């Protein structure tokens, strides 16, 4: 469901696939509708009670145009953007309540990480036989914003005499000069390998997929930041309030700036988030369903646990409907669905990896994908 059509080498076709989604593991639909504007104490309590120690948010936007030739070769152009973020409940507590309620407590603000990227790729592939398809992607990197906090301890003295933190982080950011007018600026180049192997045993078909195994080398304008710092703030002593001026704060602001300015501008090698997937599809003799399938998907760099899904499929002449459930990955567990139409020359699909709209309390995002394929020639 989550991948483009797998075209047969014996046919020529042109297809377009698009995918847009937003997910999070904190705000369901009712809570989201209440969590903007002025927040009273009950609104804040509702938000905090929904948090876990590790919370995630994910955005993905994909568009691809692909041509498959009946002689086995293919060419595709795609544009891909995504963001994956993680944050702790303690961070949100400080943001909503301030630090006063946590005097004398050591707060661990991890996890705190964000990776956002945008790139385009030209993919050239070949169908070696009925089982194996491989391709090479040439990649143009547009933007990268990545930081990972490996240490973030925050402490407020129980008598509020001081606050202190212990921080360690690594960050990488491409040139953002005039970002909106240069959204497709070439800030990096790279390459990736893709492999799709399919086979069957009796009525069971399985697919093994490796997607985006490669890297991007971001150019010498990339900012690379490495911070490891401890800081203690005991307030500002003012002997004469009338003589107070900005210079009194210079010692404190300069020390913070010295920490934040520990960065360099140079090229950076960034490993792509590789997708590893196994799909298993089994036909049945049941009158209720025609087949069932299982999928196991892992995205390196982001998924702590692979995303596991199971679906049932029903065919009505040229139409196929699928309904399933998934757990794991970067999302809350939920339902997924797909609809496929397969005409003689035109194929169409629409699917969602977040089909919980009918259950607002279980709806943690929105997602919609669709594809259309036109077949030009098939073997006689």
Helix (H, G, I), strand (E, B) or coil at 15: strand
Segment holding 277, helix H or strand E: strand 275-283
The residue assigned the tokens 């014996």 is: 10
CA 137 to chain centroid, in Å, comes to 20
Q: 235: phi > 0 → left, psi -120 to 50 → alpha, else beta; which?
A: left
Query: Which segments of the chain have a pLDDT < 50?
Result: 1-6, 238, 240-241, 244, 248
The per-residue pLDDT for range 67-113, each reduced to its tens digit, is 999 999 999 999 999 999 999 999 999 999 988 899 999 999 999 99
Give the pLDDT score at 234.
72
Kindly give the interhelix angle for 41-49 and 89-97, rounded to the nearest 10 degrees.
Answer: 180
Are the beta carbons of 88 and 112 closer than 8 angstroms? yes
Q: What is the DSSP letter of 177?
A: T
Helix (H, G, I), strand (E, B) or coil at 380: coil
The per-residue pLDDT for range 137-146, each reduced to its tens digit, is 999 999 999 9
Give the pLDDT score at 83.
97
Beta-strand pair 319-327/334-342: antiparallel
Residues above pLDDT 70, as percent of the chain: 89
Q: DSSP H helical segments within the chain, as ranges?
A: 29-34, 41-49, 89-97, 250-260
Give the pLDDT score at 358.
77
**Per-residue b or e along 173-211, where b marks 16 or more CB atoms closer than 10 Å to that residue's CB:** bbbeeeeeeeeebebbebebebebebeeeeeebbbebbb
The two structure tokens encoding residue 314: 């029903």
Dihedral pair phi/psi, residue 80, rounded to 5°: -135, 135
Give the pLDDT score at 35.
77
Residues 6+ apart with CB under 8 A from 178: none
Going 323 to 326 to 329 to 330, the CA torsion angle's sign is: positive
Beta-strand pair 307-316/319-327: antiparallel
Give the separation between CA 59 and CA 56, rounded to whole angstroms: 10
For residue 111, cis peptide bond before it (omega within 30 degrees of 0)? yes
Q: What is the DSSP letter of 307?
A: E
Q: Is the pTM of this model over 0.85?
A: yes
Give the pLDDT score at 380.
52
């Amino acid at each position: 469901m989550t991948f483009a059509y797998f075209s047969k080498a014996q046919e020529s076709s042109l297809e377009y696939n698009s995918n847009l989604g937003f997910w999070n593991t904190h705000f369901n639909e009712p809570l989201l509708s209440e969590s903007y504007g002025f927040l009273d104490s009950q609104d804040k309590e509702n938000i905090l009670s929904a948090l876990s120690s590790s919370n995630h948010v994910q955005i993905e936007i994909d568009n691809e145009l692909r041509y498959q030739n009946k002689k086995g070769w293919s060419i595709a152009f795609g544009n891909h953007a995504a963001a994956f973020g993680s944050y702790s409940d303690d961070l949100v507590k400080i943001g909503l309540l301030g630090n006063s309620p946590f005097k004398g407590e050591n707060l661990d603000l991890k996890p705190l990480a964000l990776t956002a990227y945008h790139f385009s790729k030209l993919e050239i592939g070949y169908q070696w036989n009925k089982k194996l398809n491989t391709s090479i992607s040439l990649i143009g990197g547009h933007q990268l914003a990545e930081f990972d906090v490996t240490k973030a301890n925050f402490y407020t003295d129980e008598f509020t005499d001081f606050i202190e933190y212990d921080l360690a982080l690594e960050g990488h950011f491409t040139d953002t000069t005039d970002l909106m007018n240069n959204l497709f600026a070439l800030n990096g180049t790279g390459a990736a390998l893709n492999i799709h192997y399919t086979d069957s045993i009796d009525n069971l078909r399985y697919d093994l997929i490796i997607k985006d195994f490669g890297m991007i080398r971001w150019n010498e304008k990339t900012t690379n930041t490495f911070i490891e710092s401890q800081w203690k703030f005991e307030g500002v002593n003012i002997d004469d309030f009338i003589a107070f001026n900005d210079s009194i704060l210079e010692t404190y602001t300069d020390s913070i700036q010295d920490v934040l300015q520990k960065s360099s501008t140079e090229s950076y090698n960034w490993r792509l988030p590789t997708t590893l997937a196994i799909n298993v599809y089994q036909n049945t003799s049941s009158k209720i369903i025609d087949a069932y399938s299982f999928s196991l998907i892992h995205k390196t760099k982001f998924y702590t646990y692979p995303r596991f899904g199971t679906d049932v499929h029903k065919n009505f002449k040229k139409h196929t409907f699928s309904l399933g459930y998934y757990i794991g990955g970067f999302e809350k567990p939920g339902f997924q669905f797909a609809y496929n139409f397969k005409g003689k020359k035109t194929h169409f699909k629409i699917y969602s990896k977040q089909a919980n709209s009918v259950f607002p309390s279980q709806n943690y995002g929105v997602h919609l994908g669709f594809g259309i394929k036109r077949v030009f020639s098939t073997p006689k």
